[in-house]
Amino acid sequence: MSSSSPSGSGGDLSERRGIPAAKFIQDVETYLSQSSLDSNSALAFHQESEVFCPVILLFRLQQYKVVEMKLLAQQRDLQVYFSPPLCRLVPFCDEASLVAKIPDIEKCLEVVGTLEARKGTGEALLADFEVSEGIYSRACIEDTDSVCLWLGANVMLEYSCEEATALLKNNLENAKASLEVLVADLQFLRDQVTVTQVTIARIYNYDVQQRRVKQVAPTAITAADS
């Protein structure tokens, strides 16, 4: 099949991180005749537009939808703040808490900053902490240099304030970078979905045109006969 450069702001990419790019078809007629000759891409009846269009286009559309769902879920995972799961009053958590997400990491950074600022004064901090959803209890936090960070997979490590700040900053940058990549992926995906839908629409229009031509032709012949 002749490959023309894909349209859209994505640039000349044949695929991006596993998402195949949709080729922009220059001429519907040649595309259809080519695909009908090619035994691999059988024509399938598309329910909505009621036209025979290559099965590969429909399949592509479905694939795009699936990938879009997955990416949206990942994005939600990074951006939305989930409330912390319940923890029993034991030094180690029974349940795996969620991997730190962007708002959560930012909060942690703030708290560590506050703790560090207070370090010199030597006064104890009274904090209300969540025992379970809706239940809070008070605790007294004395001056301490160490904080414990939950890294996931039943692992918790104790860090000094500076180390904790460095680690949290690193995590935040990584999370933000992956969010950017995710957003770019979603945009690329949206472009490909549009291109594929446009192709299907053009095939439908071409089909309508063909039918109209066929209708006119017999009447023209009968008119010529009589």
Partner 1 sequence: MASSSSARGELEKMGIDQLKALKEQADLEVNLLQDSLNNIRTANARLESAAGALNDLSLRPQGKKMLVPLTASLYVPGTLDEADKVLVDIGTGYFIEKTMEDGKDYCQRKINLLKSNYEQLFEVLAKKKSVADEAGMVLQSKVRQLQAATTS
Note the residues at the interface with partner 1 (CB under 8 A): 82-89, 91, 97-98, 100, 104, 107-108, 111-112, 115, 125-142, 144, 146-151, 156, 164
DSSP state of 87: -
Pairs from 77-82 (Cβ < 8 Å, separation ≥ 24)? 77/101, 78/102, 78/175, 78/178, 78/179, 78/182, 79/103, 79/179
Give the residue with the Cβ less far from partner 1, 106 or 191.
106
Give the residue with the Cβ less far from partner 1, 123 or 128.
128
- Residue 19 has, within 13 A of its CA and on its CB side, a CA count of 27
Q: At closest approach, how far in Å is the CB of 174 from partner 1?
A: 15
In Å, how far from its chain's centre is CA 17?
Answer: 12
Rounded CA-CA distance 110/169 in Å is: 11
88: left (phi over 0), alpha (psi -120 to 50) or beta: beta
Q: At closest approach, how far in Å is the CB of 166 from partner 1?
A: 14
Q: At closest approach, how far in Å is the CB of 47 from partner 1?
A: 22
Q: At closest approach, how far in Å is the CB of 83 from partner 1?
A: 8
Give the residue with the Cβ less far from partner 1, 11 or 152.
152
Give the residue with the Cβ less far from partner 1, 59 or 129.
129
Give the residue with the Cβ less far from partner 1, 51 or 108.
108
Q: At closest approach, how far in Å is the CB of 70 from partner 1?
A: 24
Residues 6+ apart with CB under 8 A from 88: 94
